[in-house]
Chain A
Amino acid sequence: SQQGEEDPQALSIQEGENATMNCSYKTSINNLQWYRQNSGRGLVHLILIRSNEREKHSGRLRVTLDTSKKSSSLLITASRAADTASYFCATVDSNYQLIWGAGTKLIIKP
Chain B
Amino acid sequence: SQTIHQWPATLVQPVGSPLSLECTVEGTSNPNLYWYRQAAGRGLQLLFYSVGIGQISSEVPQNLSASRPQDRQFILSSKKLLLSDSGFYLCAWTKAREGAWSNQPQHFGDGTRLSIL
Contacts and interface: CB of A to CB of B under 8 A. Distances in A.
Interface residues of A, number: 26
A95 B107 CA distance: 21
A85 to B, nearest CB: 13
A42 B43 contact: no
Contacts of B106: 33, 35, 43, 45, 90, 98
Q: Which secondary structure dominates where chain B touches chain A?
A: loop
Q: Which secondary structure dominates where chain A touches chain B?
A: strand
Interface of B: 6, 41-46, 88, 90, 92, 99-103, 105-111, 113
A44 interface: yes
Interface in A1-36: 2, 4, 30-31, 33, 35
A105 B92 CA distance: 22
Contact of B105 (A4, A42, A45, A88): A45
